[in-house]
């Protein structure tokens, strides 16, 4: 629960499942109004109907593939024209495919960048004028520990998350004195449907199962910082400490942790 969200409007991409869905539920419990965006319209409708029936909130939804920038522009233009304000944008939509660089196809490469980077940047650009006019708002970009610690078989996915972190950190400085908060969320592996596509063999999930994050806990943490000046959320803590060592001593870290990295 987050009492700051009472009667505020929260827009969530990738809201039909995983942490996006769980964030929506917690926002609704907190009294926040919602705009849900995802490709699976049937799931969005079911979730929207459920949340409006259970809580005294409004919940609008749009079918949206964030890799389609024309569709992103159309949907977000509609949102900014039809709602008086947008208080929080959670850029949660994303996907990955774990392959060595030489195995990944151009189509996979383009799609990961379209969804994880270009769609996120486009959505942000389209809500920023509204937030800047309000002189208040919060952009929350779901990145990954893969944006801090590169590992084998995730070269392209990791590159997209490095890009998200670069954009997020620069944006934070651009709007720091204009009333807008900007937060990056850097989780390790989360127990969601993400790995149905990313890890079709099931080997990675099997190897890291005991370390996987609970999606409810990640969602709770994200909602708890909404409308606060939080720079980053890093989960789990031990992985962020590993990332710090990696940045200070990359060669040593890669040598020591190499076998762990190759568990995909």
Residue-wise burial string across 8-38, b where 16 or more C-beta atoms lie within 10 A, e elsewhere: bbbbbbbbbbbbbbbbbbbbbbbbbbbbbbb
CA 130 to chain centre: 21
Note the maximum CA span of the chain.
Answer: 54
Please list, in sequence order, all residues whose beta carbon lies within 8 angstroms of the beta carbon of residue 187, skipping any fewer than 6 positions away.
142, 144, 145, 213, 218, 233, 234, 235
* 264 in Cβ contact with 153 (< 8 Å): yes
- Any idea which residues carry the catalytic annotation? 157
Q: Which of 235, 229, 117, 89 is closest to 173 using CA atoms?
A: 229
Cis peptide before 236 (omega within 30 of 0): yes
Please list, in sequence order, all residues whose beta carbon lies within 8 angstroms of the beta carbon of residue 47, skipping any fewer than 6 positions away.
15, 16, 21, 24, 36, 59, 61
> What does residue 141 show for φ and ψ, rounded to 5 degrees?
-105, 120
Strand partners, 137: 180
* 43 in Cβ contact with 116 (< 8 Å): no
* 35 in Cβ contact with 12 (< 8 Å): yes
């Amino acid at each position: 629960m987050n009492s700051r969200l009472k009667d505020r409007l929260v827009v969530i991409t990738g809201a039909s499942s995983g942490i996006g869905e769980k964030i929506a539920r917690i926002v609704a419990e907190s009294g926040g109004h919602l705009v849900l965006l995802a490709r699976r319209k049937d799931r969005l409708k079911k979730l929207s109907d459920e949340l409006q029936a259970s809580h005294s909130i409004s919940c609008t939804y749009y079918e949206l593939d964030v890799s389609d920038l024309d569709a992103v522009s159309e949907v977000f233009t509609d949102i900014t024209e039809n709602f008086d304000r947008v208080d929080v944008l959670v850029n949660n939509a994303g996907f990955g495919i774990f392959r060595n660089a030489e195995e990944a196809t151009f189509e996979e490469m383009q799609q990961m960048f379209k969804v994880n980077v270009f769609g996120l940047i486009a959505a942000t650009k389209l809500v920023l004028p509204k937030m800047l006019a309000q002189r208040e708002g919060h952009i929350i970009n779901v990145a990954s520990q893969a944006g801090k610690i590169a590992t084998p078989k995730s070269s392209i996915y990791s590159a997209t998350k490095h890009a998200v972190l670069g954009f997020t950190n620069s944006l934070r400085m651009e709007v720091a004195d204009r009333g807008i908060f900007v937060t990056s969320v850097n989780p390790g592996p989360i127990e969601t449907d993400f790995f149905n596509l990313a890890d079709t063999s099931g080997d990675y999930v099997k190897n890291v199962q005991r370390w996987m994050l609970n999606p409810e806990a990640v969602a709770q943490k994200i909602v708890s910082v909404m409308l606060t000046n939080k720079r980053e959320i890093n989960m789990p803590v031990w992985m962020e400490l590993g990332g710090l060592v990696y940045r200070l001593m990359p060669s040593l870290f890669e040598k020591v942790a190499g076998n762990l990295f190759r568990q995909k």
